[in-house]
Structure 1
Amino acid sequence: METARLLALIAAMVTMGNMAGVFGLYSHTVMPGLRRTDDRTFVGAFQALDRAIINPWFMLGGFLGALVFTGAAAGLLLGPGGAALTWTLTAFALYLVVFVITVAVNVPMNDTIKAAGEPDGIADLAGVRARFDEARWSRWNLVRTVLTTLAVICLAMALMEHGRG
């Protein structure tokens, strides 16, 4: 059982770290880079990025994996309890907020820009970009970045506490 707890915590830490990296990369690189482009480039590039990110590696190795593995680690730690469980539950709660933000805010915005169609067929690219509201998307992504980074810290603490036990 001890090995299962440790492996679950490691899997949670890796997948949560992946997500902190993805959200962070969008915050400090992707969106600032896209912000400097013309409307056609922005719409086309954002659509292409959003289509590309929906893949098994991202879903299992990050987005869904962080939720599942952190939840599994918390479940496995229920028996011994202690500080490792508290840190893991905190990480789970933080990421659950991130998951809800993603599903309620960012994904609908992504879907809206994709629904506009291919950039070559859009008459009002500036309007599509304005309706997308990249500043709002970026603000919520920054929230996801901060919360997921805090969740990684919590999981690091959980691993340290688990190692002491």
Structure 2
Amino acid sequence: MNAPPQDTESTARPTAGNSTLRLLVLLAATLTTGLTAGVFFDWSNAVMPGLGEVDDRTFVTAFRALDRAIVGPLFIGVGFTGALLLTAVSAVLHRHRKPPKAAGAVAGPGARKSARTALRWILAALLFLVLAWVITVAVHEPLNQELRSFGELTTEADWAEARAALDEKLWTVWNTVRALATTLAFVCLARALALPHGPGTDPDPERVRPRRAD
């Protein structure tokens, strides 16, 4: 007579909280990265071409107003910085993914492969986001600061000099590069998000094998 089989569902169930946290952080990183890429894309394809059609006074006035608005906490703090930090945290969570502690549960080979693949995509996204940050610090912030440094502008020559200091072409070209970088980061994160993010465990056959009665 065979003894009743053990409950493999309870023994193969790892801590679901860690899996949920990993998924939520990755989802937040994906959303903030997508929003950031959209902002950069709009600047290269709508804002700068539109400003390029106006006179010097209007260009400088409008760009200064946009610059003041975009450096607020919503975009810089939540969007751009948030995308980088959340992606870094997501990489750490996937890198230090712990095996299940429940008795009779082992990480299946499919789950381990999925976790490694997700980590690679997340790290690729992180590299693209770091590139966007480097471009911002090395190119855009110095150019923006040049425009901010101008005091009161009175003559048409003053407005023209301030506009020339920004170097619209250089600003737009490198903004397109960071738009592409953040878009690629979004694609990488979306790919990682599409992978299975459950606990990914298989019951240990040696520990859940039914025992035969003597």
Do the structures match in fold with TM over 0.5?
A: yes
Query: Of Structure 1 and Structure 2, which has the larger fraction of its residues in helix?
Result: 1
Q: Which of 134, 137, 143 pairs up with 1:103?
A: 137
RMSD value over aligned CA atoms? 1.6
Identify if the C-alpha distance between structure 1 residues 51 and 79 changes in structure 2 by more than 3 Å, giving closer, same or farther.
same
Q: Which of 150, 156, 159 pairs up with 1:125?
A: 159
Q: Show the counterpart of 2:209.
A: none
CA deviation string 1:54-111 (max 9, x = no partner): 1111123211001100000001000344111000000000000100110111011111
AA of the residue aligned to 1:67: L
Identify if the C-alpha distance between structure 1 residues 65 and 50 changes in structure 2 by more than 3 Å, giving closer, same or farther.
same
Q: Show the counterpart of 1:75.
A: 92
Q: Show the counterpart of 1:20.
A: 37
Q: Which runs of 5+ in 2 are unaligned?
A: 1-17, 98-114, 201-214
Residue 49 (str. 1) matches residue 83 (str. 2): no
Q: Which of 158, 161, 164 pairs up with 2:195?
A: 161
Q: Secondary structure at the match of 1:17?
A: helix
CA deviation string 1:100-149 (max 9, x = no partner): 11011101111111111344477521122122110000000000010100
CA distance in 2, matches of 1:36, 1:60: 31
TM-score by structure 1 length?
A: 0.94
Identify if the C-alpha distance between structure 1 residues 48 and 136 changes in structure 2 by more than 3 Å, giving closer, same or farther.
same
AA of the residue aligned to 2:85: V
Identity of aligned residues (%): 48
TM-score by structure 2 length?
A: 0.73
Q: Show the counterpart of 1:152.
A: 186
Larger radius of gyration: 2
Q: How many residues align?
A: 165
CA distance in 2, matches of 1:149, 1:119: 37
Contact in 1 for aligned 2:143/2:165 (Cα 8 Å): no
Q: Secondary structure at the match of 1:36?
A: coil
CA distance in 2, matches of 1:120, 1:39: 12
